Amino acid sequence: MPSAAKSRSTLPQPSPTPGQAGVTGGAAGISRLWQFAGLAVLFLGLAAALLFSGAAAARDVSDPGALIRWGLPISKAVHNVSLATVIGGLIFAVAILPRTAHGSRTKDAEAPEHPAFTRALAVAAAAGAAWTLSAIAVLVLTYSDVAGQSLSGDAEFTRALVYFMTDIETGRAWLAVTIVAAVVTTALFGVRSLSGLALTLVLSLVGMVPIALIGHSSSSSDHEGAINSLALHLVGVSAWVGGIIMLAVLSGILTGSKAASQAGTKADITEPTLRRFSSLAGFAFVLVFASGVINASIRVTSWHDLFGSAYGQMLLAKAVATLMLGAIGLMHRQWVIPQLNRKGATLSSRRVLWQLVIAELLIMGATSGIAVALGRSAPPQPTTFAPDASPAFILSGYELPPELTPERWLTEWRLDWLWIAVAAFGMVSYFLGVAKVRRRGDKWSWFRTINWVIGLLVLTYITSGPPAVYGRVLFSAHMVDHMALTMVAPIFLVLGAPVTLALRALPARADGSRGVREWLLLFVHSRFSQLVTHPLFAAANFAGSIVLFYYSDAFGFAMRDHVGHELMNLHFALTGYIFVLSMIGTDPLPLRAPYPMRLVLLLATMGFHAFFGVAIMGGTGLLAADYFGNLGRAWGPSALLDQQMGGAVAWGVGEVPTLLVAIGVAIMWSQSDARESKRTDRAADRNNDADLNAYNDMFAKLAERDAKLAERNSKLEGR
């Protein structure tokens, strides 16, 4: 990348002294010296944290050697940075930067790419290669670390390594990460369409799931809370760190440098790029800090452990660094971006911009090093299962809750931080959208807002409240959880019309990039949306997936495995939402069924639910028997009797929401007819009943013709 002394800015600037840009960061960008300085600080912070915590010290038993003790955390640091760079590059390409040099969303494959778009994907592809190689290194070094032996090329080491990759959870996780990294890297070298890059971004995010499932989180006292908070933490950190890295490597191009001019564009896109990333970074900061606090509170349960242990002290250092980064981000939002948005933006504001980015880069490097060292250090709380763990704890990860009573339908909670984050994001985003629409002078229905809030509260109760707690030990409670998730919460959420609000609140982009609004419109009109929202498909999926789920191994997988449980929640929430949306929703859809057809589909699903409930009530075989039959529950009905009660819930309780939706369809049908009548009356008033007169004239002419025919026939008969 050209240094600030050699690059050009769209604004006049004094000539910097030799080496000035390499020392402070110039107005036109950040030199490579500072970019590599961030990486150097990462390794320095890692080394200091490892020495401070003693995580790199030699073991008394089964020591794998210094190469493994130091090579493994270094490989993990490279892995984390390269993964963040891949995600940051894809986010910038998919949602922040214009794709073409001339700012048009043309489908012409020959249209020249914007140099910033090209640079972002090139850096992401190189980082993808580093991600793949570092994942392989982590896989091999983790085996050596677990086995307590140094690297070797003999056949026994290879056989043991293969066994580790295929039969041990940690090995399988890192093998999965390696495969995902390789696929993402391959796509980065060949994919150029924004839709393909968006799918690649989703796949790269999936690559973080195995990382969250292993390590300290997998066996903590609240292992699901730890896993979910760590997964949210990884997503926030990757988007934030990757975005800062992208700002650094693209700084010279964003300001309209020589490389940009050669590509056919001289536009300075620093301000829109920074503004868009600032919004993302704000959400990422909240996500990182909140999830970090939650994860730390699970592992460090006393003030003594927080202040008196090396693990707790490193946590404090990481928290302080995160707050510093948040303060710098606030400076960007409150001072730098408004300055860049003015026509007379000063050269000093641009220089301060890149100096702040340099500071973020250095602080993030040190923080990332501390984070890797934390992963190598033992937390104060034990991370292994107790030898006398109960069957319920072994199967579900939690001890049995107390016997279910009416009041405990309100008091027994186990927070699912993933769905709490979804609800919090949905609540904040919705309120921001409403505020923006009303500031513009437009109206937004309080009825919709109240329904959206109720829907998110119901969703939180279902996923974190008593239905979720007792749904892990009682089939009847699980069925209450399922029916509420797929038939109660979606009604309120659909009535909130979130897509309509987003389309009204979000501005349309004119520079060829795709923001949230553009992606929403693209998805609504996509072939995939046409399929899943088609009334027939939505009804079949809504009703049929129940049978496929409960009468297959998917049910047992969802009860035993955390990923399976969250996928179950996601599937049934989306299934219910799409079905209700196709029935009574006002958000835009590719196709809407006529009202009579909607009522027929609702009646069909009601009958299917009744059939399913009766089948469960009369069943004599226990579903997921290896789970519900081995929990060791000493209170409540037997597992089979409880399952039959669950069938009654599916039959009785499940019909009520469907009936309410049917009533809603009938009301909408009536209102539609009333609106059509009013429209017809208004048209008649405008044209003095021209349509009615023409209609009457048509019948008068028909009557006159019939009379003439009758007269002619009578004359013929008289002859």
User: Roughly what angle, to the nearest 10 degrees, separates helices 115-147 and 223-254?
Assistant: 140
DSSP category for residue 102: T
Could you give the CA distance from residue 344 to residue 338 in angstroms, rounded to a whole number?
11
| Coil, strand or helix at 453 | helix
pLDDT beyond 50 at 2: no
Could you give the CA distance from residue 227 to residue 261 in angstroms, rounded to a whole number?
47
DSSP category for residue 94: I
704: tokens are 């006159």
What pLDDT band is residue 154 in, cutting at 50, 70 and 90? confident
CA-CA-CA-CA torsion sign (38, 206, 214, 170): negative
What pLDDT band is residue 452 in, cutting at 50, 70 and 90? very high
| Coil, strand or helix at 419 | helix
What pLDDT band is residue 662 in, cutting at 50, 70 and 90? confident
Radius of gyration of the chain (CA): 31
From residue 56, alpha-carbon distances to 87, 139, 317 in Å are: 29, 18, 19
| pTM exceeding 0.75 | yes
381 CB burial (10 A radius; 0-12, 13-18, 19+) = middle
Residue 14 confidence (pLDDT): 36
Instruction: At 593, give phi and psi (nearest 5°).
Output: -75, 150
Region 204-220: what's the mean pLDDT?
A: 77
pLDDT beyond 90 at 196: yes
Region 691-718: what's the mean pLDDT?
A: 68
Stated length of the chain: 719
- Higher local confidence (pLDDT), 694 or 239: 239
Q: Which helix (H) or strand (E) holds 29?
A: none
Neighbours of 133 (CB within 10 A): 18
Instruction: At 55, give phi and psi (nearest 5°).
Output: -70, -20
Read out DSSP for 615-656? Answer: HHHH--S-TTHHHHTTS---SSS-HHHHHHHHHHHHHHTTHH
Residue 57 confidence (pLDDT): 85
88 close to 245: Cβ distance less than 8 angstroms: yes
DSSP category for residue 533: T
Mean pLDDT of the chain: 84
385 close to 393: Cβ distance less than 8 angstroms: yes
From residue 3, alpha-carbon distances to 118, 253, 423 in Å are: 19, 11, 45
What pLDDT band is residue 24 in, cutting at 50, 70 and 90? very low
What pLDDT band is residue 259 in, cutting at 50, 70 and 90? very low
177: tokens are 């990460």
Residue 20 confidence (pLDDT): 38
- Higher local confidence (pLDDT), 184 or 696: 184
What pLDDT band is residue 312 in, cutting at 50, 70 and 90? confident
pLDDT beyond 70 at 8: no
473 close to 392: Cβ distance less than 8 angstroms: yes
Could you give the CA distance from residue 370 to residue 315 in angstroms, rounded to a whole number?
8
Residue 308 confidence (pLDDT): 84
Strands (E) in 166-287, as ranges, are none
Could you give the CA distance from residue 580 to residue 370 in angstroms, rounded to a whole number?
47
Residue 110 confidence (pLDDT): 60
Task: Tell how far CA 664 is from the center of its chain.
Answer: 31
Which of 8-17, 89-98, 289-298 is the least confident region?
A: 8-17
Residue type, 340: L
Q: Which helix (H) or strand (E) holds 388?
A: none
- Higher local confidence (pLDDT), 317 or 348: 317
Alpha helices in 62-114, H assignment, sequence order: 66-91
pLDDT beyond 50 at 9: no
The per-residue pLDDT for range 338-348, each reduced to its tens digit, is 777 665 555 66
Q: Report the DSSP beta bridge partners of residue 100.
A: 113
Region 557-586: what's the mean pLDDT?
A: 92
What pLDDT band is residue 620 in, cutting at 50, 70 and 90? confident
Residue 201 confidence (pLDDT): 96
646: tokens are 């669950």
Could you give the CA distance from residue 430 to residue 448 in angstroms, rounded to a whole number?
10
Residue 22 confidence (pLDDT): 40
Question: With pLDDT > 70 as the criterion, what percentage of the chain qualifies?
Answer: 85
Provide CB contacts within 8 A for 597, sequence distance 6+: 535
482 close to 550: Cβ distance less than 8 angstroms: no
Question: With pLDDT > 90 as the criterion, what percentage of the chain qualifies?
Answer: 44
Could you give the CA distance from residue 57 to residue 378 in angstroms, rounded to a whole number?
13
